[in-house]
Amino acid sequence: MKKIILYTCLATLVASTGCEDYLEQAVDQRTQLETEQNISELLATAYPQAGYTTFTEAMSDLVLDKGTGTVVVNEINENAYFFRDIEDRNQDSPDYYWNACYAAIAAANHALEAIERAPDPTVYNAQKGEALVARAYAHFMLVTLFAKVYDPATAASDPGVPYVTEPEKVVMQQYDRRTVAYVYEQIERDLTEGLPLIDNNSYRVPKYHFNTAAAHAFATRFYLFKRDYQRVIDHANQVFPGGNIGPNLRPWVSVYSNLTANEGLARYTQATESSNLLLVEAPSLWARNYGRYRYGLATPIVNELFRSENVTGATWIYPLYTQGTENWLVLKFREHFVRADVNADIGYPYTIYPLLTAEEVLFNRAEAYLELGYTEAARDDLNTFASARIENYNAATHNISDTKLRAYYGTRDIKEGLMAALLDFKAAEFVQEGMRWFDILRHDITVEHPTADGQVVVSAPGDPRRVLQIPQEAELAGVAQNPR
């Protein structure tokens, strides 16, 4: 969809009348974007069809070096663990994710251009809303991973990423990174304009599109990074009727704990799961290997997250499985293998990723409450989460009290204790989903990666390696690489 190719009629090969007939045909033989259905079909590709989990999980503090043995050795997984620039450009790599994001942005921009040129653009309001929010989301993910995390004191000078708002129509278009502050301004503009236009009735499978719940959920993430905490709360309360998030949390206690392994893998990423707000299917080996990568979830982390009592005085219900001595996994991802053709033994592995969930919305609201000083409201949200993750939950026994916070975290600062609990809860909930990396960025958490041969790789706040490197080919389009 990027380039318009013009064809000429060669007189030496085609008779004059034949040439005239040929020139009466549309130059571009692709589907014309002239109907709601055409534009909606294009917008199905306006989401990054790539996974970031392989590298963000490996950079986090939820993984260890499992050494040699029955593990999968993978360059992306290994280099991310050592905070090296990842040269692999295949699926699951940062370069692949960068390109997928800009491909999604290109689809959104083509849709928006077609809508603008339509005789009556208001007919396409729902499609316009989806395109704007999808464009905002892809740019947000890019600026979060490939630029410094948003800081009000430095955002106006920190290099951002190109914010592309028009279809690319020339070879080697040049782009300017501008600043993180500029990118955030453009994201907010697209988000606030697009969200009110979204119409869930325009989707056949809403969970694979920016439905209203998903759009508000994305807004909670964006404003949490922007530190606009009241807006986090406002949007969180619009995800579900009455701001009642609890009944929509993933039912680990009542349902998941009773499922077989295959049933659990099948359910986690289903569109019918109320917790899942936005899903994407992407070419990825993550579902196949996430429990077996050498640098991954290992016994010490399992013991800390799941086998030891948390601040509630209980342990989490998550069912754990192993694929060998150290290859731990929580049942979340099942590979979808698409054969090259009906009779082929080769094909393409896909993973379905939950991009936005009810759990994240609850945590984002709780963190915003804490930042605004609404301590008890934050505590209520955390207790709501715990009630859905502790077997035989009893509020009198398991609610998070000040006494528990002081004893467990060794602090008399209740806000500090609740924030620590929130981050611990999120680490357990989103393990093996790559989400922990975003908290590490926002909260300036130091990461230590011990190696099997006794070394320790440390990445502290301010480490330039925490900002992913811009793909080299982007330099040809005028995009400067990040410092190293």
Instruction: Over range 215-224, report the average pLDDT.
Output: 98
Instruction: Over range 265-280, report the average pLDDT.
Output: 96
What gap in Å lies between CA 113 and CA 132, rounded to an integer?
11
Q: What is the pLDDT of residue 4?
A: 31
Q: Is the pLDDT of residue 337 over 90?
A: no
CB 208 within 8 A of CB 280: yes
pLDDT (tens digit per residue) in 88-130: 999 999 999 999 999 999 999 999 999 999 999 999 999 999 9
Q: Which two tokens stand for residue 12?
A: 């030496």
Q: Is the pLDDT of residue 373 over 50?
A: yes
Three-class DSSP category at 467: coil
- The model's confidence at residue 8, banded by pLDDT at 50, 70 and 90, is very low
CATH of 16-477, one of 3.50.50.60, 2.30.30.100, 1.25.40.390, 1.10.1040.10: 1.25.40.390
Beta-sheet strands, E only, within 143-296:
276-283, 295-296
Its pTM surpasses 0.95: no
Q: Which residues contact 135 (CB under 8 A, 6 or more apart)?
A: 46, 104, 105, 108, 109, 112, 165, 190, 194
Q: Is the pLDDT of residue 432 over 80?
A: yes
What's the mean per-residue pLDDT of the chain? 92
Q: Residue 355: in which H helix or E strand, if any?
A: strand 347-357
Q: Is the pLDDT of residue 139 over 70?
A: yes
Q: Which sign does the torsion angle of CA 236, 241, 245, 249 carry? A: negative
- The model's confidence at residue 338, banded by pLDDT at 50, 70 and 90, is confident
Instruction: Over range 61-75, report the average pLDDT.
Output: 94
- How many helical (H) and strand (E) elements, i.e. helices and strands, does the chain have? 18, 9
- Long-range (24+ apart) CB contacts under 8 A made by 20-27 are none
The size of the chain, in residues, is 484
What gap in Å lies between CA 53 and CA 333, rounded to an integer?
12
Q: Is the pLDDT of residue 15 over 50?
A: no
Q: What is the pLDDT of residue 406?
A: 97
What gap in Å lies between CA 427 and CA 445, rounded to an integer?
13
pLDDT (tens digit per residue) in 223-258: 999 999 999 999 999 999 999 999 999 999 999 988
Q: Which residues contact 392 (CB under 8 A, 6 or more apart)?
A: none
- The model's confidence at residue 69, banded by pLDDT at 50, 70 and 90, is confident
Q: Which residue has the higher pLDDT, 23 or 194?
A: 194
Q: What is the pLDDT of residue 171?
A: 66
Q: What is the pLDDT of residue 308?
A: 97
- The model's confidence at residue 343, banded by pLDDT at 50, 70 and 90, is confident
Phi first, then psi: what are they for 281, rounded to 5°? -105, 125
Q: What is the pLDDT of residue 31?
A: 54
Least confident among 135-144, 188-197, 240-249, 342-351: 342-351
Q: Which residue has the higher pLDDT, 407 or 168?
A: 407
pLDDT (tens digit per residue) in 20-52: 443 344 444 445 677 888 999 999 999 999 999
What gap in Å lies between CA 297 and CA 58, rounded to an integer?
9
Q: Which residues contact 406 (CB under 8 A, 6 or more apart)?
A: 412, 417
Give the rounded distance of the alpha carbon of 419 from its chain centre: 22
Q: Which two tokens stand for residue 67?
A: 């050494």
Residue spans per domain, the chain: 16-477
- The model's confidence at residue 3, banded by pLDDT at 50, 70 and 90, is very low
Closest residue by Cα to residue 233 from 213, 212, 216:
216
What gap in Å lies between CA 418 and CA 402, rounded to an integer?
9
Instruction: Over range 423-435, report the average pLDDT.
Output: 98
Q: What is the pLDDT of residue 476?
A: 87
H-state helical runs in 165-249: 180-194, 212-226, 229-236
What gap in Å lies between CA 395 and CA 163, rounded to an integer?
48
Instruction: Over range 283-300, report the average pLDDT.
Output: 97
Q: What is the pLDDT of residue 210?
A: 98
Instruction: Over range 361-376, report the average pLDDT.
Output: 98
Q: What is the pLDDT of residue 346?
A: 84
Q: Which residue has the higher pLDDT, 23 or 480?
A: 480
Instruction: Over range 249-273, report the average pLDDT.
Output: 92
